[in-house]
Amino acid sequence: MKRQNLRTAALILCIFSYLLVGAAVFDALESEAESGRKRLLEQKRGELRRKYRFSADDYRELERLVLQAEPHRAGRQWKFAGSFYFAITVITTIGYGHAAPGTDAGKVFCMFYAILGIPLTLVMFQSLGERMNTVVRLLLKKIKKCLGMRTTNVSMENMVLVGFLSCMGTLCIGAAAFSYFEGWTFFHAYYYCFITLTTIGFGDFVALQKNEALQKKPPYVAFSFMYILVGLTVIGAFLNLVVLRFLTMNSEDERRDAEERASLRRARNNVHLKPKEDSRSSNAIFLPAEDRTSQMNLIPLIQEDAERQRRQSAHSAAAVPSFCTCLCYRPQLCGSPVPSHPETLSCHTNPVYYNSISYKIDEVSLSTRGQTGSSPGSTLSSTSARCRQHPRLRRKSI
């Protein structure tokens, strides 16, 4: 998390620094030229007003008419070809501004159309870019095989180089075509292609806006549409290769941080559990059990009970047993004498003393009991007639 916060803060600082540098450079480059153009326009306006005796209001009205008539120089913008051109500029976020909906219904539809079309277009271009990168990688691998190179693996540097050359080639082809059809210089045509394919779309240079090209030049219109879509795919492939690699660094860091937190949590739990396990292993009593029974874990008597037993052992010669003796499942059926000392058969039933008792129920007879024997403190007689006559389930407990 700390690494991601540092990267985010560094990116914010870098962007603001980049903006400040850009503002300073554009100010130095464009400010004086803007002032010169403004003085020139004011001079021309004064000459026109003096020549044709325009008032200020008349000049503003004439200016408004010229601006509104500018889009119609290319013919009718809202026929099918012009509408298709406008739809491309909407969903690709180019937004030249050469045409805009004039009705309220058209503006409402444009908003909903963009809400659905822009994400769909971005996903489509990203998917096409991934497929294109896959095809280029396979072609490079085959080319390396044909050339007999030792390593045919395609590195990231190879892909970046191919992507960069593809972008430059696409821009140059478009610049050559638009400089021919639009009468622009190669530099201005290249500038138009770059602004279009990066979806900046200033609108200072817009194709298909001269001599009613939308209606009179269908091949050129088709070429312009296909160039925009294919060029955006090439640029999207290059951005998917370079930019998205850096965008995935945050997700990789988040996964790495999550794994580190999980490992630290496990280590902390192990540290907390280790003393408990050590104390349990040093204090617990494990007794082996017979077949089909689990191992018995007996917690020792607490300190107060141990002191009480020591006091009782001072007044009694008999040893006080710590465990329950073998008892019949129905002790009333066996005619066992009552012990003279109650403590000789004392069984701690308080769950404080035993955390788990594992037992099994066996159908045993008197002979089986004779083989297993009785516990040291047991008072059951092995010759009891009633015990012989009533074989039953007997619980062997500790």
- Let me know: does 363 contact 393? Beta carbons within 8 Å: yes
- Nearest alpha carbon to residue 229 among 198, 201, 197: 197
pLDDT digits (tens, 9 = 90+) for 136-176: 999 999 999 998 888 888 888 889 899 999 999 999 999 99
Q: What integer best gives the mean pLDDT of the chain?
A: 76
Nearby residues of 93 by Cβ (< 8 Å), 6 or more positions away: 118, 199, 201
- Evaluate if pTM is beyond 0.85: no
- Please list, residue by residue across 68-103, b when 16 or more beta carbons sit within 10 angstroms of its beta carbon and e when fewer do: eeebeebbebeeebbeebbebbbbbebbbebbeeee
Q: Is residue 39 predicted with pLDDT exceeding 90? A: yes
Over residues 246-260, mean pLDDT: 73
The whole-angstrom separation of Cα 282 and Cα 299 is 11
| Whole-number Å distance between alpha carbons of 37 and 57 | 22
Least confident of 20-24, 70-74, 341-345: 341-345
List CB contacts of 87: < 8 A, sequence separation 6 or more.
Answer: 113, 117
Average pLDDT over residues 98-116: 94
How far, in Å, CA of 334 to CA of 326, rounded? 13
Helix (H, G, I), strand (E, B), or coil: what is residue 217? coil
Neighbours of 394 (CB within 10 A): 20
What is the band of 112 on the pLDDT scale with cuts at 50, 70, 90? very high
Structure tokens at 23: 């503002």
Q: What is the mean pLDDT of residues 119-129?
A: 91
347-351: average pLDDT: 45
What pairs with residue 361 in β-bridges? 395
Q: Check residue 204 and give its pLDDT.
A: 92
Q: Is 297 helix (H, G, I), strand (E, B) or coil?
A: strand
- Does 365 score more than 50 pLDDT? no
